[in-house]
Amino acid sequence: MSGSLDPRSALIVVPCLNEERHLPALLAQLLAEGPAQHIVVADGGSGDRSREIVHALARTHPNLILMDNPARLQSAGINRAVERYGIGHRWLVRIDAHCDYPTGYVPALISAARRHAAGAVVVPMVSRGRSGFQIAAAAAQNSVIGTGGSPHRHVGEGRFVDHGHHALIAIDLFRAAGGYDESMATNEDAELDCRIGQAGGRIWLEPSLALTYHPRSTPLALWRQYYRYGRGRAQTVTRHGLRLKLRQAVPLLVPAAAALALLAPLSGPLSLPCAAWAGLCLGAGAAIGIRAGSGWAMLSGVAAMIMHLGWGTGFLRERLFGAAVRRMGTAGSG
């Protein structure tokens, strides 16, 4: 592994779509900390100033590359970047543009992989809201009611895991596993982690490199995100024959409880499961807000309810009807 701590051994890929708000500070950090490392911004057709920002910086930083990603999906952009620019690099580092990263992030990832003989390193995510509903969503995502105790959504102890937020993967392992599945719009990282495990790779969760994630800022956007998450997880479960963890199975009861509540005019007790769920979430959210001293954080229970309902509905829709819908789409296109 001689030279494996050299940041130039890493290919950094930044999937991007309309990220003008985050790109200047992010790219400045990456270029300052590793002026010789190769950075590829895989742009999915941004309509804001994202491409202009990259072009301007690339004039004085030839190691910064703007690459078109016509498929628009993050998975496709990363696959394409590895195919075009991965030769000669040992590591792939995935950087999501809407996150904030600790100082010295890339060298520390490489160091963690070397210390633990890991083929991949994942990191925890800590959500942070700037204002309004985004604060409520962040508080929910940082809590047990929002994530069920998912290891990579909380800063805990370092350990080997079966999944986490993607940060660093050995390029040889990435290729051996087949890269990201571009047919999946979400949960492509967890699905790849399944194949990494099957290929013999070990995934280390590094708690010292937690990143800061900025969640969706409106209830509708949060719903759409978690609906897609649920659908993606159902695809991964079906493809690999996985069993859901308890924290993943419980939200599947929420759509059923909501459906029963609609029948409450026929029989009042049918609303009890939904009322109990809502009361638990709202009460927990109020407690979170009181501890945080934030009125918006008191609405974290509402954000958690949106997350539960979206995820459960998306999962059930994909599990029950996804294959049939895809067959109909294929038949229609023929």
Which of 191, 215, 239 terminates a domain? The answer is 215
Clarify whether residues 163 and 268 are in a common domain: no
Give the pLDDT band (50/70/90) at residue 105: very high
- Name the band, by pLDDT with cuts 50, 70 and 90, for residue 324: low
Model pLDDT for residues 227-248, shown as the tens digit of each residue: 999 999 999 999 999 999 888 9
Residue 1 located in a structural domain: no
Q: Are residues 292 and 143 in the same domain?
A: no
Check which CATH number belongs to the domain holding 177 and give it.
3.90.550.10
pLDDT surpassing 80 at residue 327: no
Question: What tokens were used for 152?
Answer: 């990579």
Of 149, 184, 215, which one is at a domain's C-terminal end?
Answer: 215
Q: Count structural domains, the chain.
A: 2
Average of pLDDT values for 84-108? 93
CA 317 to chain centre: 21
Residues 39 and 136 in one domain: yes
Q: Name which of 288, 316, 306, 282 is nearest 143 in CA terms.
A: 288
What confidence tier does 328 reach under pLDDT thresholds 50, 70, 90? low
Secondary-structure percent of the chain, ordered helix, strand, coil, rounded to 5: 55, 15, 30
pLDDT in tens, 244-265: 988 899 999 999 999 999 999 9
**123 plus 190 within the same structural domain:** yes
Length of the chain: 334
Residues 275 and 182 in one domain: no
Q: How far apart are CA 44 and CA 163, in angstroms?
A: 26
Coil, strand or helix at 49? coil
Q: Check: pTM over 0.85? Answer yes or no.
A: yes
**Long-range contacts, stretch 27-34, CB < 8 angstroms, 24+ apart:** 27/53, 27/54, 27/57, 27/64, 29/101, 29/103, 30/95, 30/106, 31/57, 31/61, 31/63, 31/64, 33/7, 33/103, 33/104, 33/105, 33/106, 33/107, 34/7, 34/8, 34/10, 34/106, 34/107
In a domain, 2, yes or no: no
Domain identity same for 175 and 297: no
Is residue 222 a part of any domain in this protein?
A: no
**259 lies in the same domain as 163:** no
Which residues, at least 6 apart from 325, have a Cβ–Cβ distance to it below 8 Å? none
Query: Which sign, positive or negative, has the C-alpha torsion 205, 287, 281, 302?
Result: negative
pLDDT value at 329 more than 60: no
Q: pLDDT, tens digit, for every residue of 265-306?
A: 999 999 999 999 999 999 999 999 999 999 999 999 999 999
Supply 234's token pair: 């159902």
Overall average pLDDT of the 216-223 stretch: 97
In a domain, 223, yes or no: no
Q: Could you read off the pLDDT of 136-154 as tens digits, one per residue?
A: 999 999 999 998 877 777 7
Look at 53-62, 92-101, 254-263, 319-328 and tell me which has the smallest mean pLDDT.
319-328
Residue 220 falls within a domain, yes or no? no
CB 162 within 8 A of CB 193: yes
Which amino acid, residue 252? L
Q: Are residues 124 and 262 in the same domain?
A: no
pLDDT of residue 149: 75
Residue 301 lies in a domain: yes
**Does residue 221 lie in a domain region?**
no
Alpha-carbon 217 to chain mean position: 16
Q: Which domain holds residue 180?
A: 7-215
What is the predicted pLDDT for the residue at 2? 38
pLDDT of residue 154: 75
Q: What is the mean pLDDT of residues 55-67?
A: 95
226 is a domain residue: no
Q: Do residues 192 and 95 both lie within one domain?
A: yes
Note whether 286 and 156 are same-domain residues: no
What are the two backbone dihedrals, phi and then psi, of residue 263, each rounded to the nearest 5 degrees?
Answer: -95, 5
Q: Which amino acid is at 60?
A: T
Residues 58 and 200 in one domain: yes
Residues 236 and 295 in one domain: yes
Boundary-marking domain end, from 215, 250, 274: 215
The residue-averaged pLDDT of 47-55 equals: 96
